[in-house]
Amino acid sequence: MGQRLGYGSYERQNGEQSKEDLRNRFFAAITEHAKHVLKNLYDESFKLYLDAGLGFKVDANKVMLEGLNPNEQARKLAREWNRHRWNRPQWQRHFETGPITYDKRKEKFRQSLFEWSRRFNLNAAWCREYAYETLDHWSHAHPDHEHLSFELHLVARTVFAVKRDVEWFVFKRRVQHPQLLPIETIKARLREAFECDLRQYFTQLEAIAENQGYVPTPEIYEAHKSKLEDRLRWLVERIIYNKTYKAITDELGIKGNDYLDESYIRQTITSLAKRIGLSSSTFYRR
């Protein structure tokens, strides 16, 4: 994944950041509106995941690390943790293209995860990827049954790489002695100067972003942020609960609305599913 300037601003032309953002929001919507999906993952696949020896055994590591100095402990824990983190080539080889013939417990877990994804119409590799990383997180964090949530992917941790001659934003100003001007005047002048310098700095960053091939993030992350949560809820109801478009429309109480009619609901759900990589064949056609 490429890096981006801020959230919902500039990104690489392939739009991968927006897709990941939307997938994160989708799984956050499942956490909010379909908690039983998480509980089912916890009760079935998580147990098999631990039985297969894939979990991050914190307690075992604490015993193993006794006698090491703090730096050695930190390095050891980092190696153990990273060993279980998401790795796409490993996933594709051992899970998506299975079966795992060398370990019956791992294969049993793999089958369980596929069954889970099919059961809730999340039958796509990236959905199982989210589930797998969530199980990895649970094995480390030990959440209780009532506080489960999906481990979301963080794609844009930093701003895009800029030229070395672009410094971090630093604001420096000399001010007159407070005895010569009212303090309110000094505050106002400093605030005005700060905002001016900040605008210039971000104008510079935006120019670099455009020169490096970044493009503005699609409008859905700007103009429609307030509506997106509702639309993701419709998608959850369609995919997870197998509700018909008519049922979703009726529950919204929008009959007779020329804009939010059943046709619009169908189009919106289909479009969102396509954006995140769930084809219409993934969930029932009703």
pLDDT in tens, 172-229: 888 777 777 888 888 899 999 999 999 998 888 888 888 878 888 776 655 455 678 8
Is 216 inside any structural domain? no
In the chain, what percentage of residues exceed pLDDT 90? Answer: 29
Is 4 inside any structural domain? no
Is 3 inside any structural domain? no
Assign 213 to helix, strand or coil. coil
Q: Please, are residues 33 and 237 in contact by the beta-carbon 8 Å criterion?
A: yes
Is 22 inside any structural domain? no
Q: Identify the band that residue 82 occupies on the pLDDT scale cut at 50, 70 and 90.
A: low
Residue whose C-alpha is closest to residue 139's, from 6, 50, 213, 73: 50
Enter the tokens of residue 277: 């990589």
Tokens 């795992």 sit on residue: 100
Does residue 108 share a domain with residue 63? yes
What integer best gives the mean pLDDT of the chain?
78
Residue whose C-alpha is closest to residue 153's, from 103, 86, 64, 243: 86
φ/ψ of residue 205, rounded to 5: -65, -40
Does residue 130 share a domain with residue 71? yes
Does residue 258 share a domain with residue 194? no
Separation of alpha carbons 37 and 148, rounded Å? 10
- H/E element, 11: strand 10-11
Which domain-ending residue is among 211, 233, 250? 211
Separation of alpha carbons 103 and 49, rounded Å? 12
Q: What is the pLDDT of residues 138-172, one digit of tens each?
A: 987 888 888 899 987 765 444 555 555 566 778 88
Does residue 120 share a domain with residue 178? no
Separation of alpha carbons 26 and 121, rounded Å? 13
Does residue 127 share a domain with residue 42? yes
Does residue 112 share a domain with residue 45? yes
Does residue 62 share a domain with residue 39? yes
Is 217 inside any structural domain? no
Enter the tokens of residue 87: 């790795």
User: What was the pLDDT predicted at 156?
Assistant: 45
Q: Please, are residues 221 and 24 in contact by the beta-carbon 8 Å criterion?
A: no
pTM of the model: 0.71
Separation of alpha carbons 230 and 228, rounded Å? 5
Preceding omega of 70 cis (within 30 degrees of 0) = no
Residues with Cβ within 8 Å of residue 171, at least 6 apart in sequence: 193, 194, 197, 198
- Count of structural domains within the chain: 3
Is 136 inside any structural domain? yes
- Enclosing domain of residue 202: 162-211
Highest mean pLDDT among 69-73, 214-218, 238-242: 238-242
Q: Please, are residues 153 and 85 in contact by the beta-carbon 8 Å criterion?
A: no
Does residue 247 share a domain with residue 203? no
Helix, strand, coil shares of the chain as percentages rounded to 5?
Answer: 60, 0, 40
User: What was the pLDDT predicted at 41?
Assistant: 97
Tokens 């059961």 sit on residue: 119
Taking residues 267-285, what's their average pLDDT? 79
Separation of alpha carbons 89 and 95, rounded Å? 10
The residues facing 11 across adjacent strands are 215
Q: Please, are residues 143 and 136 in contact by the beta-carbon 8 Å criterion?
A: no
